[in-house]
C-alpha cells in the first residue's frame, strides 16, 4: 500500500508519532515502517475525533497487520455507527456488510478475542439473528471445535437472541462427532441450565427457589451414562454427571454405575477402565462416611492410575483425615 504521507487524500492530516519515552527509549518496539506510519495517522484522526470512510479504510489496514489491537477495533465500531447516524443509511445492511468482511478476518485469525468482541458489538445492534450467523459459526467450529472465543460468543448469542430451544440438536451433533468435545459438554450445561441464571451474580432459579426439573435431570443422567460407556476415560461427561446429581444433593444414585468401570479396588484396582470413575466412587464412599474405602480409591489414583496428580489425591485424603501416600 502507498504511504499515507504520499497520499493526497491524507495530506490534511499531521501524523502523531508514538511517544516511546524520549529520544533514546530503553525498549522501543520494533514496528514495521508500514505499521508505524499507519498508527501515526490513526492517532491523528483519533485526536481530532474524525469518523469517516477513510478512517474505516485505515482501521482495516491496521487490523490486517495487527488484528489483536483492541483500540483499533473499538474506534472502527464507533466510526461505523457514527457514519450510519450521519448518513441515515440502513443500519442492518451496514452491519451485514461489516460482518461479511469480518468473516474473512475471523477465518484467517482463529484465536483472536478482539474479533469476537467486535462481532458481539455489531450483533447487539440488530433486532434478530442474521440467517447466516449459525452456519458461519459451524465453519469456525469445523476448523477448531474447541475454540474458546467462539464458544463464549455463542453463549452470548444464545442468551441475547433467546435461542435456548433450538441449540440442543446442534450440540448433540457435535457430541456424536466427538464425545470428548469438552466445550460441547459445557455448552450443553449452559443451554439446559443457564437460561434462568443471572449472569451478573451467577445465581439461578434453582438456587433461589429450589426449582429442579426432575424429568430433565433423569433424561440427562441417562444420556450422559450412555456417552460415558462410549469412552469411560473421558472426564467431561463424568463432570457433567456430577453436576446433574449435585442438583439433587447426592451422587449415590450412580454409585453402581461407577463401579462398573473401577474393577476390584481391594485387588489394587485390577480391571479399572476409568480413573474418573474411581474418583467418582471415592466421593460416593466419602458421602457414605466410608473413609477407608474412599481413601483406598484415592491411594490407587495417587499411586497407579493418576500419579501426576499425586499431591491433589493426597490433599483429598487429607480431607478425610488420612495420611499421604507416595506414588
Which residues carry out catalysis? 111
DSSP per residue, 239-298: HHHHHHHHHHT-SGGGHHHHHTTT-BGGGTTBT---HHHHHHHHHHHHHTT-HHHHHHHH
Contacts 24+ apart (CB under 8 A), 114-117: 114/67, 114/68, 114/69, 114/70, 114/73, 115/67, 115/73, 115/149, 116/149, 116/150, 116/152, 116/153, 117/70, 117/73
Question: Which H, E and C letters describe 142-175, residue by residue?
Answer: HHCCCCHHHHHHHHHHHHHHCCCCCCHHHHHHHH
Choose among 68, 58, 10, 70: nearest CA to 34: 58
Nearest CA to 195 out of 174, 216, 177 is that of 216
What are the b/e assignments for 104-124, b being 16+ CB within 10 Å?
ebbeeeeebebbbbbbebbbe
Q: What is the DSSP letter of 24?
A: S
Cell numbers linked to 83: 457514519
| Residues whose CB falls within 8 Å of the CB of residue 106, separated by 6 or more in sequence, listed in order | 112, 115, 116, 119, 140
The helix/strand/coil state of 110 is coil
Amino acid at each position: 500500500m502507498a504511504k499515507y504521507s504520499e497520499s493526497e487524500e491524507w495530506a490534511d492530516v499531521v501524523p502523531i508519532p508514538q511517544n516511546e519515552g524520549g529520544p533514546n527509549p530503553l525498549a522501543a518496539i520494533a514496528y514495521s515502517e508500514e505499521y508505524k506510519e499507519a498508527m501515526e495517522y490513526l492517532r491523528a484522526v483519533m485526536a481530532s475525533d474524525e469518523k469517516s470512510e477513510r478512517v474505516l479504510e485505515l482501521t482495516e489496514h491496521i487490523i490486517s497487520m495487527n488484528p489483536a489491537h483492541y483500540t483499533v477495533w473499538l474506534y472502527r465500531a464507533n466510526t461505523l455507527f457514527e457514519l450510519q447516524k450521519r448518513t441515515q443509511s440502513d443500519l442492518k445492511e451496514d452491519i451485514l456488510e461489516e460482518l461479511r468482511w469480518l468473516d474473512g478476518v475471523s477465518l484467517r485469525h482463529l484465536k483472536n478475542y478482539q474479533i469476537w468482541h467486535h462481532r458481539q458489538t455489531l450483533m447487539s445492534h440488530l433486532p434478530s439473528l442474521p440467517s447466516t450467523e449459525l452456519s458461519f459459526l459451524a465453519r469456525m467450529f469445523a476448523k477448531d471445535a474447541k475454540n474458546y472465543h467462539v464458544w463464549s460468543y455463542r453463549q452470548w448469542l444464545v442468551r441475547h437472541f433467546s435461542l435456548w430451544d433450538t441449540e440442543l440438536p446442534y450440540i448433540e451433533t457435535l457430541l456424536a462427532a466427538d464425545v470428548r468435545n469438552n466445550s460441547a459438554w459445557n455448552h450443553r450445561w449452559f443451554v439446559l441450565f443457564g437460561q434462568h441464571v443471572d449472569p451478573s451474580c451467577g445465581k439461578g432459579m434453582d438456587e433461589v427457589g429450589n426449582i429442579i426439573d426432575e424429568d430433565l435431570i433423569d433424561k440427562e443422567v441417562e444420556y450422559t451414562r450412555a456417552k460415558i460407556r462410549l469412552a469411560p476415560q473421558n472426564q467431561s461427561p463424568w463432570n457433567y454427571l456430577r453436576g446433574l446429581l449435585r442438583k439433587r444433593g447426592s451422587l449415590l444414585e450412580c454409585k453402581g454405575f461407577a463401579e462398573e468401570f473401577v474393577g476390584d479396588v481391594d485387588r489394587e484396582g485390577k480391571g479399572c477402565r476409568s480413573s474418573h470413575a474411581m474418583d467418582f466412587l471415592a466421593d460416593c464412599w466419602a458421602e457414605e462416611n466410608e473413609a477407608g474405602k474412599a481413601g483406598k480409591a484415592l491411594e490407587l489414583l495417587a499411586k497407579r492410575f493418576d500419579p501426576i496428580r499425586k499431591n491433589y489425591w493426597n490433599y483429598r485424603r487429607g480431607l478425610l483425615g488420612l495420611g499421604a501416600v507416595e506414588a
